[in-house]
Amino acid sequence: MDWRKKTNCERNGREMYEMIEELGSGSFGRVDGVKAKLNGNIYALKTCQLNSLTEKLKINVLNETQNLIKLRSKYVIQYYYSWIESNCLYILMECLAGNLTQVLETKRKLFGEIITDFEFYISYEIFKQLVESVEYLHKNHINHRDLKPDNVLIDNNDDNRYIKLCDFGLSKEVHVLSDGYNQTKDVGDIQYQAPEAITTEYNHLIDVYSLALIGAQLFGFNTRDIANGNTQRMDRRIGDKDPNVKSNFYTNGFN
């Protein structure tokens, strides 16, 4: 596999960046927060040890790089460039402040059983932007296939947009969004995995399923209540809250 050709990478040099802290790790390798020695800018640097990856994981890493190059927008983490050095693939990306998992943990500590107006509007705005981000992917014929709070990054910037998606290793470009055949089976985190995702016949609706479970957590619902249709506990928590905000929500997937 010609990694240099496939990733359209630009040789940059690991020695050009100073390690700040580890941001995460997984089967692919690790992601570090780094500072460029030349200008002091902060980035996220993903390091993938090629000789330790299975062929399947190599394909996932390559897939992520290709999709990041294609999906340059405010809805997706910004890709800068990638290069190979000492049998490692390096992917340089923007570094954001945190992720949705951290927000959910903070919300559980700060708020009680009944949702307050403040918590409701925070949750509403986060979910609205998350829906817009997934809609952007689907309009570009990309199924993420691994939506979960860890892969929803959060930052505060000038245009009041603070939700961006990351980790496109399992994502797939499809010609027809609703095509449900010849898919890789058993994709995504089991906690947010749609039932049909364990088979080879599914489509973009598996992203919508994951999105619904993330939304349930944002508003403090028990995801088991969602699956079991227990709306009484949901009604008790939300009460008569109404955002009264006119917005074009992404509803096609729910039909």
Give this prediction's pTM: 0.78
CATH number of 98-254: 1.10.510.10
Q: What are phi and psi of 168, to 5 degrees?
A: -105, 25
Residue 3 · residue 85 · CB < 8 Å:
no
pLDDT given for residue 34 in this prediction? 95
pLDDT given for residue 244 in this prediction? 46
Per-domain residue ranges for the chain? 3-94, 98-254
Residue 43 · residue 79 · CB < 8 Å:
no
Catalytic residues, which ones?
146
Architecture of domain 3-94: 2-Layer Sandwich (3.30)
Reference 81, options 144, 139, 14; nearest CA is 14
Residue 243 · residue 121 · CB < 8 Å:
yes
pLDDT along the chain (255 residues), means of 10: 37 83 81 92 89 77 75 87 84 90 88 80 92 93 91 79 85 68 75 84 88 89 70 59 44 40
pLDDT given for residue 151 in this prediction? 92
Please enumerate in sequence order all residues whose Cβ is within 8 A of that of 166, keeping only pairs 6 or more positions apart, or say none: 76, 77, 93, 151, 152, 153
